[in-house]
Each structure stands twice: as C-alpha cells, then as structure tokens.
Amino acid sequence: MKSVTSRILYFVICSLFMMLNAQGNELDLSKRSNLKPSETIHLDSDNVLLIDVRTQKEWDDGHIKGAIHLPLKDFKENLAQIVTDKIQPVVIYCSAGGRAIAAAKYMNNLGYHAVPVIEGGYSQMLSAGLNKSD
C-alpha cells in the first residue's frame, strides 16, 4: 500500500510542478525584488527594460543583448530619460548585484514599481544562457 501511495504522491507532485512551469513564460515582475539568471530568459524584451549599471569598460568587455547601458555613476542624472514611465517593467544587473541593488532602491524611492535585480550579475546571466551582444 505504501508503494501505491508513494507513486500517487510522486505523480501529483510532478504534475503540479509541470502545471506551474506551463502557466506561461512571462514573469510577474511587480512582486519580485530579484530574479535568478535563468528566469531572465523568459523576459519579454519588447516590454521589459534590461538596464546594465556596470562601468563603461565592463560594458565594452561584453553585455547582454538588448540591454541598455546606464552606469551607476550616471544613474541619477539620466534615469528619467531612459525610463519615462514609472510603471514600465525594469530589470537591473551589474557584475555581482551590489550596484544593481543600489539602483533598484533609488528607483523604488522615486516611486517606480518593483525593480528586480538579477542574482549573481552578468557572469551568472551568461552561464544561464543569455546571449552576449555582438
């Protein structure tokens, strides 16, 4: 009997997991403070702004395809020109997360909706399979 119950439980758990994964690839960013690098593959690049807050040298050494470069040192001065709508979905990354967190906090303090950062930064995004810009 335990064997049958274990198999049923296993089937239910697997089915639930598959249903959750099949609910669509779009992420609800409104309730997120961070994203795993693998989740960024599912971002709608037509709707979500991906902002890289690394230095110019880091950007020149490589960046994610479709990202917008807004170095943290220029962030406060240029943010309003890049993100004109405070409900525009935005995701921020840097090398490891520290600068992205600072930028996200700044945006949240200005009234922008949830602005998640990507855990682990640029190198983790590449490891997760995101495309590096040519």
Is pLDDT above 70 for 7? no
DSSP structure string for 63-117: -BTT-EE--GGGHHHHHHHH---TTS-EEEE-SSSHHHHHHHHHHHHTT-----E
Asked if the structure places residue 90 within a domain, the reply is: yes
Asked whether residue 69 is domain-assigned, the answer is yes
Residue ranges making up the domain that contains 69:
26-127
Cα–Cα distance measured from residue 33 to residue 104, given in angstroms and rounded to the nearest whole number: 9
| Inside any domain, residue 15 | no
Is residue 4 situated within a structural domain? no
Count how many domains the chain has.
1
Does 9 fall in a domain? no
Q: How would residue 29 be classed by pLDDT, with cut points 50, 70 and 90? A: very low
pLDDT at 17 over 70: no
Query: Any catalytic annotation for residue 14?
Result: no
Does residue 66 form part of some domain?
A: yes
Range scoring the smallest mean pLDDT among 14-18, 28-32, 54-58, 72-76:
14-18
The verdict on pTM exceeding 0.85 is no
Please check whether residue 2 lies inside any domain of the structure.
Answer: no
Choosing from 53, 72, 79, 94, the catalytic residue is 94
Asked whether residue 18 is domain-assigned, the answer is no
